[in-house]
């Protein structure tokens, strides 16, 4: 891929390909063994971190655009994205003089202040959660790094991308009670400590082990298998799995957990 | 107000006042004594119903725009609006030949197909719930009626406005467990049947009276007052009120109700 050509094409012809004033940003959470991370890109030749984002084609459906943008910018495919909020502060996407200079340097032409990339942009945000040990993100032609960063040690981010992450986290914490988020993040069979750790990590708070397990079991959302996981000579905890039918029924009928 | 002048101004100069390709629509639910309604507008001289909606000014914040639009189109003020979803199917706002003709007739000029009102529009949606007996909605210069319609007997609506109402209702039903929605819809002191009816109506399903009351009380979310409501000679049910402190603590700590 001719990277310089791609960048120049985006800057010079983007206004005729994409809807003006609109963008999409993706907050991709990654979970693995008690760690919650978020996927960030680092701009090429600049110490600037951002969420993977991009623009909506003139005739493109929003969800299709979100998936395409995520794939183009990070290589991640088949990720179930959910819209959670649209950010539209009038000054949210104002670019600093350094950023304008940086953009100008790409095409070797000072950027006109009427350039489409400098207009007010309203950004429609999507989020997803994945098991980060199972995917291999790759930076696109605009970025030099694409990596998982710990949620409580984020670098400085452009625009309002930190607010987006916070809002996505709130949504995830609400949805974890209403949607079978665990399905994607645990193996089909898991131990009680594994599901307990998942909920503690996502909710960012300690949950009493005994009560947590008791609640999940008494609601019938998980069931104990007649099978153990072999961890070591003296440790072989029972395995559990989600009771999909009950889980979905509970989700439909209202709320599931009081934790 | 010169209504014709306002309409012509909107059609002829809207493109320089508002962000292109973007709109805001408001789903306003009204609750009163076991009825859940939604606020709709009927276009002037046309049998077309829609949600109150409008456009975002070039420098305007989204939330401010939503409140302004609701006020301009229905007269409703001081309503707490929450964003819930952005709708952006490429063809969602396509206008029928009859609608284009209707719009053309307003300015007495055939509408150019490049006219800003005919472009693809992505709509950011907000919702709110209010006590409908306490507000007096008024149609704006574009509409001949502005009224509460029963949620399960809606007239045909333009564009994807019916989807918007359904999505808003889903959000409301999720939020009723997480946000103190009852505060605005019940008097400060209420009877158990009153709060039970509210939840049943919003959730659209029957809830066992005894269990419902027991749960609210055992979680400490409402408290019984040493005071009764006088309904008739032989009926004087106890009054209750929300325990705001406990309610907010419960909301923060996670989920509140299993109903």
pLDDT at residue B168, rounded to an integer: 97
Express as a percent the part of chain A with pLDDT over 70.
95
Q: Which candidate in A116, A119, A122, A200 is best for mutational testing of the B interface (most B CBs within 10 A)? A: A122
pLDDT at residue B252, rounded to an integer: 65
User: A19–B60: do the CB atoms touch at under 8 Å?
Assistant: no
pLDDT at residue A130 greater than cutoff 50: yes
Q: CATH fold of B186-253, please?
A: Arc Repressor Mutant, subunit A (1.10.10)
- Min Cα–Cα distance to chain A from B203, Å: 9
pLDDT tens digits, one per residue of A63-101:
999 999 999 999 999 999 999 999 999 999 999 898 888
What CATH superfamily classification does A3-175 receive? Answer: Nucleoside Triphosphate Pyrophosphohydrolase (3.90.79.10)
pLDDT at residue A53 greater than cutoff 60: yes
User: A61–B177: do the CB atoms touch at under 8 Å?
Assistant: no
ipTM over 0.90: yes
- Which residues from B are below 8 Å from A177, CB to CB? 254-255
Q: What is the mean pLDDT of residues A92-118?
A: 88
In chain B, CATH 1.10.10.10 sits at: 186-253
- A243's torsion region: left (phi>0), alpha (psi -120 to 50) or beta? beta
Rounded CA gap, A102 and B69, in Å?
A: 39
Q: CATH fold of A184-253, please?
A: Arc Repressor Mutant, subunit A (1.10.10)
Rounded CA gap, B173 and A78, in Å?
A: 29
* A238 or B253, greater pLDDT: A238
CB atoms within 10 A of CB B185: 22
Task: Out of B86, B253, B257, name the one closest to residue A124 (CB).
Answer: B86
Contact A27, A82 (CB under 8 A): no
pLDDT at residue A257, rounded to an integer: 47
In chain A, CATH 1.10.10.10 sits at: 184-253
| Dihedral angle of Cα A184, A186, A189, A194, to the nearest 10 degrees | -160
Instruction: Name every residue whose Cβ is closer than 8 Å to that of residue B47 and which is 6 or more positions away in sequence.
Output: none
How many residues are listed for chain B in this entry?
259
* A107 or A196, greater pLDDT: A196
- Which residues from A are below 8 Å from B258, CB to CB? 254-258
**One-letter-per-residue 3-state SS of A123-190:** EEEEEEEEEHHHCCCCCCCCEEEEEEEECCCCCCECCCHHHHHHHHHHHHHHHCCCCCCHHHHCCCCE
3.40.50.720, 3.40.50.300, 3.90.79.10, 3.40.630.10: which CATH number matches B3-164?
3.90.79.10
Half-sphere exposure of A15 (CA within 13 A, CB side): 8
In chain A, CATH 3.90.79.10 sits at: 3-175
Q: Mean pLDDT of all residues in chain A?
A: 90
| Confidence tier at A2 by pLDDT (50, 70, 90) | low
CB atoms within 10 A of CB A246: 15
- Min Cα–Cα distance to chain A from B19, Å: 8
Rounded CA gap, A15 and B234, in Å?
A: 73
Q: Work out how many CB contacts closer than 8 A connect A with B.
A: 83
Chain B residues with a Cβ under 8 Å from any Cβ in chain A? 19-22, 56, 58-62, 83, 85-86, 88-90, 120, 122, 124, 174, 177-178, 203, 253-259
pLDDT tens digits, one per residue of B159-170:
999 999 999 999
pLDDT at residue B35, rounded to an integer: 95
pLDDT at residue A254, rounded to an integer: 54
Only one residue has tokens 């072989």, namely A236
| Dihedral angle of Cα B1, B5, B6, B7, to the nearest 10 degrees | 130
pLDDT at residue B154, rounded to an integer: 96
Task: Out of B20, B83, B253, name the one closest to residue A86 (CB).
Answer: B83
Stretches where chain B sits below pLDDT 70 are: 1-2, 250-259
Comparing A40-49, A118-127, B4-13, B249-258, the range with the smallest average pLDDT is B249-258
Rounded CA gap, B254 and B249, in Å?
A: 9
- Which residues from B are below 8 Å from A58, CB to CB? 120
- Closest-CA residue of chain A to B61: A89
- Min Cα–Cα distance to chain B from A92, Å: 10
């Amino acid at each position: 891929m001719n990277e310089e050509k791609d960048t120049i094409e985006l800057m010079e012809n983007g206004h005729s390909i994409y809807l003006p004033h609109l963008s999409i940003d993706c907050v991709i959470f990654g979970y693995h063994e008690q760690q919650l991370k978020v996927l960030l890109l680092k701009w090429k030749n600049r110490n600037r971190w951002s969420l993977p984002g991009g623009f909506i084609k003139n005739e493109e459906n929003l969800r299709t655009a979100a998936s395409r943008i995520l794939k183009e910018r990070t290589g991640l495919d088949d990720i179930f994205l959910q819209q959670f909020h649209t950010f539209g502060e009038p000054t949210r996407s104002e670019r600093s003089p350094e950023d304008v200079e940086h953009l100008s340097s790409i095409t070797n032409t000072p950027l006109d202040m009427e350039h489409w990339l400098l207009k007010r942009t309203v950004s429609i945000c999507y989020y997803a959660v994945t098991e980060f040990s199972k995917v291999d993100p790759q930076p696109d032609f605009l970025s030099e790094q694409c990596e998982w960063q710990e949620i409580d040690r984020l670098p400085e981010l452009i625009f309002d991308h930190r607010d987006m992450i916070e809002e996505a986290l709130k949504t995830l914490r609400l949805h974890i009670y209403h949607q079978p988020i665990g399905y994607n993040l645990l193996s089909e069979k898991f131990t009680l400590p594994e599901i307990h750790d998942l909920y503690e990590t996502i909710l960012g708070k300690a949950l009493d082990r005994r009560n947590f397990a008791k609640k999940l079991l008494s609601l019938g959302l998980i069931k104990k298998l007649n099978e153990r996981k072999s961890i070591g000579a003296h440790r072989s905890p029972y395995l559990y799995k989600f009771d999909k039918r009950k889980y979905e029924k509970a989700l439909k009928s209202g709320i599931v957990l009081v934790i």
